[in-house]
Structure 1
Amino acid sequence: MFKILIIIILIYFAYCIIPTFYYKWFKTKAVKNLGDTNNIALTFDDGIDKIYTEKLLDVLNKYNIKATFFIVAKTAEENPKTIKRMIKEGHTIGLHSLEHKDALLKGYFYTKKDFKTSIEIMKNHGLNIKYYRPPWGHMNIFTLKYIKNHRLQLILWNIMVGDWKDYSSSERIENKLIKNISKGSIICLHDGRGTNDAPKRTIQALDTVIPQLIEKGFNFVTMEQIYG
């Protein structure tokens, strides 16, 4: 019984734990930073949110900043006007799964459906998706298979400030961003799914931080501008 348990654990590690940590922590084809350049990328996960994504777009438009939105495909069906606005205002749209399920707990058939259905939804909105970010950055071996099959670029990050958490005040988010952003940073923030109106605090923080980053000489770019 003990041997069987060990085998199961080893299989599970090979299936999802090792791929996740390997792509997060080692040099791979996954994009985690933009190199030694003044370019930085604001990226947003977990939307589209019916309230806060539009408010975030207002702040970005205020400063003429372009960002990359990794959206949950099912929210696209409910928010076509927001998608049109993102495109019109020059933002890049990437995929953040079908319904934000954890790849560590999903098998072959779900993973296949996740990608297939998501890509179809995006195409129905006129989107040719090129960029993918898995929920929580978690991957299994089939995640990697379908990223390759659909010719997607895996985009991770090197700055995350916990903006979705209850205790993350706008001031705390501001301080973490200013302290940690440097040349080539890919910043992962969230415009959906946070607790206690978390996206509201993120938006408030950005309204303060963006002018400071502009003053420091950083150039805001999207994944499309960098990778085509």
Structure 2
Amino acid sequence: MYFTTLMAIIIIIFLIHSIIPTLYNKYINSNIIKLTNKDNEIMLTFDDGPDERYTNNLLDVLKENQIKATFFVVAENAKNNPEIIYRMHKEGHTIALHSLAHKNALFYSYKYTKKDFKNSIEIMKNFNYQINYYRPPWGHSNIFTNFFVKKYSLKMILWDVMAEDWSKYATVDSISSKLILRTDRNSIICLHDAGENSGGAFNAPLKTIEALSTVLPKLKLVGYKFITPERLGH
């Protein structure tokens, strides 16, 4: 009886702390950006980097296709790769926040959530760059997330298209076909420019980059225009 009661209490706490805030932000909270607001304007976003093994090659592909993207960077990765951050900024991409060290907010305490935002913002300020947008790892929130998003005047951006490019089972063809089939007229696409250091497969971004080399021209050809969050009017 004691064990059953204890488990029930733990489940209720977890629901209140993590599950309900995550579901609320994904499906109910109108302050969360989940789609663009003009037909055929789509947003291309990347999580988990920067990573010196992949991000520069990705930037080359974007430059070749004259596309500006949004990079949700892990602050500690940004700190370790300042030259990539400066390149992103120089080439007109939007730099946004994807946490301090890519830990899962489902298990954050108040103390760690506070540290996560505070330290991340401080790291990015060292680049003389104002962070305005945030995406939580895995799209997970906790009961404290929205408080700190508001405190630091951030807008949370989620997504509606993912190609499972982080998976060890992903192939260039599977990523390409999912992007073509799933992208719609108001889509926000979520891809990744880091691999195993953020829970993805080793060398996974190499497949993403190769897929984008063929997919981006196709999406442009059918009339999609790539925008960054500043164009959304939020």
Residues 94 and 132 in structure 1, CA contact (< 8 A), matched pair in contact too: yes
Matches within 5 A, 1:191-206: 191-193=193-195, 194-206=200-212
Alignment partner, residue 141 of structure 2: 139
**Structure 2 residue aligned with 1:219:** 225
Contact 1:35 1:183 in 2 (8 A): no
Amino acid at match of 1:158: D
Stretches of structure 2 that go unaligned for 5 or more consecutive residues are none
Could you list the per-position Cα deviations for residues 135-181 of structure 1 after superposition, in whole angstroms to 9, with x for gaps in the alignment? 00010011111001111000000001100001110110000000010
Counting only pairs closer than 5 Å after superposition, residues 107-122 of structure 1 correspond to structure 2 as: 107-122=109-124
Q: CA deviation at 1:209?
A: 0.3
Letter of the aligned partner of 1:92 in structure 2?
Answer: T
* 2:137 is the alignment partner of 1:149: no
Identical-pair percentage: 52
Cα offset for 1:36? 4.9
Over the aligned positions, Cα root-mean-square deviation in angstroms equals 1.1
Query: How far apart, CA to CA, are the structure 1 residues paired with 2:66 and 2:183?
Result: 19
Residue 105 of structure 2 aligns with which residue? 103
The structure 1 residue matched to 2:8, chosen from 6, 9, 12, is: 6
Q: Which moved more, 1:124-133 or 1:18-27?
A: 18-27
**Partner deviation per Cα, 1:11-60 (whole Å, 9 max, x = no partner):** 21011101101211235211011135110000000001111000000000
Q: TM (normalized to structure 1)?
A: 0.97
8 Å CA contact 2:45, 2:72 repeated in 1: yes
Q: Which runs of 4+ in 1 moved over 4 A?
A: none
- Aligned residues of 2:105 and 2:140 also touching (Cα < 8 A): yes
Structure 1, gaps ≥5 residues long: none
Amino acid of the residue matched to residue 198 of structure 1? A
Q: CA deviation at 1:78?
A: 1.1
Aligned partner letter, 2:46 = F
Q: Counterpart of 1:42?
A: 44
Please give the alpha-carbon distance, in whole angstroms, between the structure 2 residues aligned to 1:81 and 1:87: 10
Output the CA distance in 2 between the equivalents of 1:125 and 1:227: 25
Query: What is aligned with 1:83?
Result: 85
Q: Distance between the aligned counterparts of 2:18 and 2:32, measured in 1?
A: 16
Secondary structure of 2:138's aligned partner: helix
Q: How far does residue 101 in structure 1 lie from its aligned partner after superposition?
A: 0.4
Give 2:231's aligned amino acid: Q
Question: Would the aligned equivalents of 1:133 and 1:156 in 2 still touch at CA under 8 Å?
Answer: yes
Q: Contact (CA 8 Å) 1:164, 1:198: kept in 2 or not?
A: yes
- Quote the offset at 1:9 in angstroms: 1.1
Look up the equivalent residue of 1:34 and give its one-letter code.
T
Q: Please tell me whether the aligned partners of residues 131 and 154 of structure 2 are also in contact (alpha carbons under 8 angstroms).
A: yes
Q: CA deviation at 1:223?
A: 1.1
